[in-house]
């Protein structure tokens, strides 16, 4: 599938901002067997006094910039064209206990690198209640792929999609308690559950294809940035699962960044001087192209 993507963020301030400094994760990554970007751009208004790009420890492209002129309007527009392939998953895998044990004593380069995603991170803490939730899907000697797909299905069935019910810093224990949230929360909860039993998994920030035909069911999370989960299986690699939509991530899931949690891949964050009360508008459009 080929797509044209436009992601626009706009802040309007009631008072002038005298200086602002920002960090963005909007320069997408290529995934050899998953997606390839044929073009991409980032347009910033006002024009930054300086900007610099680098690759972070997770393999994401990150841009830092500073705006040093007074402004009451701030816009960041990212766009481009990408070709996306389906995310295949294995039909049979090691059981989850074997995966846990391999990651407890990693020997290969791939297993060692995957271990950075086994531990708690600032937005993904877990407790005994979350571990017990995970253990219902990961029974003795169960193949890891079966457990991963079942827990994704349970999250989809057990939790209500409710925009505005959570905040950026909502922890998985709160999601379990209240049983509602958005795609970021469901991804964080699934990651917490899998890490609680010793597995390696992380957070993907990206986009969903916006369906145009009336007869097509629109996936939850379209028209905005979306979040889903990647899980490591030794000897195979990474699989991607979307608990918000109870599916394996496919041709409609377009990757921008990967990390331990949302804090590693926030599309836009920064600090400003001045500004006063402000309004924010974010718009994402993903269209299929030929």
What percent of the chain shows pLDDT beyond 90?
A: 87
Q: Give CA–CA dist 67/113, Å, rounded.
A: 36
What band does 290 get if pLDDT is binned at 50, 70 and 90? confident
What band does 91 get if pLDDT is binned at 50, 70 and 90? confident
Q: Give CA–CA dist 45/236, Å, rounded.
A: 43
Mean pLDDT of 178-189: 97
Looking at residue 19, its pLDDT comes to 96
Q: Give the mean pLDDT of the chain.
A: 94
Is the pLDDT reported for residue 63 higher than 60? yes
| Residue with tokens 């836009």, as numbered in its chain | 268
Looking at residue 213, its pLDDT comes to 46
Ramachandran class of 114: left when φ > 0, alpha when ψ lies in -120 to 50, beta otherwise: alpha
DSSP H or E run through 61: strand 61-67
Strand partners, 63: 24, 53
Q: pLDDT for 246-289, tens place per residue?
A: 999 989 999 999 999 999 999 999 999 999 999 999 999 999 99
**Quick check: 14 and 276 in contact, CB under 8 A?**
yes
Q: pLDDT for 122-169, tens place per residue?
A: 999 999 999 999 999 999 999 999 999 999 999 999 999 999 999 999
Higher pLDDT, 218 or 104: 104
Strand partners, 239: 231
Is the pLDDT reported for residue 218 higher than 70? no
Is the pLDDT reported for residue 33 higher than 90? no
Looking at residue 153, its pLDDT comes to 98
What percent of the chain shows pLDDT beyond 70?
A: 95
**Count of alpha carbons within 13 angstroms of residue 52, beta-carbon side:** 3
Is the pLDDT reported for residue 217 higher than 70? no
- Rounded (to 5) percent helix, strand, coil in the chain: 25, 40, 35
Q: Give CA–CA dist 253/207, Å, rounded.
A: 6
Nearest to 268 by CA among 23, 57, 65: 23
Determine if the peptide bond prior to 214 is cis (ω within 30°): no
Mean pLDDT of 187-198: 98
Is the pLDDT reported for residue 80 higher than 50? yes
Mean pLDDT of 224-253: 94
Higher pLDDT, 222 or 67: 67
Q: Give CA–CA dist 180/159, Å, rounded.
A: 5
What band does 216 get if pLDDT is binned at 50, 70 and 90? low
Nearest to 146 by CA among 90, 228, 212: 90
Mean pLDDT of 174-194: 97
Tokens describing residue 168: 């950026």
Looking at residue 223, its pLDDT comes to 61
Burial class (CB in 10 A: 0-12, 13-18, 19+), 213: exposed
**Count of alpha carbons within 13 angstroms of residue 232, beta-carbon side:** 24
DSSP conformation class of 217: P
Is the pLDDT reported for residue 205 higher than 80? yes
Query: Rounded to the nearest 10 degrees, what angle do helices 183-196 and 128-135 cross at?
Result: 80
Nearest to 230 by CA among 187, 169, 264: 187
- Provide the 10 A C-beta neighbour count for residue 113: 12
Q: Give CA–CA dist 128/255, Å, rounded.
A: 32
Reported pTM: 0.94
**Quick check: 263 and 121 in contact, CB under 8 A?**
yes
Domains of the chain and CATH, by start: 2-85+266-289 (2.60.40.2250), 96-261 (3.10.620.30)
């Amino acid at each position: 599938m080929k797509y044209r993507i436009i992601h626009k963020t706009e802040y309007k301030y009631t008072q002038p901002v005298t200086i602002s400094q920002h960090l963005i994760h909007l320069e997408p990554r290529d995934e050899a067997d998953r997606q390839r970007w044929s073009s991409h751009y980032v347009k910033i208004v006002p024009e930054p006094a300086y900007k610099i790009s680098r690759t972070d420890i997770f393999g994401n492209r990150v841009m830092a910039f500073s705006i040093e002129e007074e402004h009451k309007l701030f816009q960041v527009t990212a766009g481009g064209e990408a070709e996306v392939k389906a995310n295949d998953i294995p039909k049979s895998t090691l059981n989850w206990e074997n995966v846990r044990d391999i990651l407890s004593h990693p020997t290969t380069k791939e297993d060692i690198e995957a271990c950075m995603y086994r531990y708690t991170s600032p937005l993904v803490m877990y407790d005994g209640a979350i571990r017990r939730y995970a253990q219902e899907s990961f029974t003795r000697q169960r193949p890891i792929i079966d457990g991963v797909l079942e827990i994704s299905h349970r999250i989809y069935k057990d939790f209500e999609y409710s925009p505005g019910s959570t905040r950026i810093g909502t922890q998985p224990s709160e999601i379990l308690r209240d049983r509602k949230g958005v795609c970021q929360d469901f991804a964080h909860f699934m990651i917490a559950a899998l890490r609680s039993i010793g597995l390696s998994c992380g957070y993907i920030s990206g986009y969903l294809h916006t369906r145009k035909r009336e007869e097509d069911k629109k996936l939850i999370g379209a028209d905005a940035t979306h979040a889903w989960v990647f899980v490591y299986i030794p000897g195979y690699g990474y699989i991607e699962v979307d608990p918000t939509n109870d599916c394996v991530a496919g041709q409609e899931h377009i990757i921008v960044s990967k990390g331990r949690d949302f804090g590693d891949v926030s599309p836009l964050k920064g600090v400003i001087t001045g500004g006063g009360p402000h309004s924010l508008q974010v718009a994402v459009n993903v269209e299929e192209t030929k």
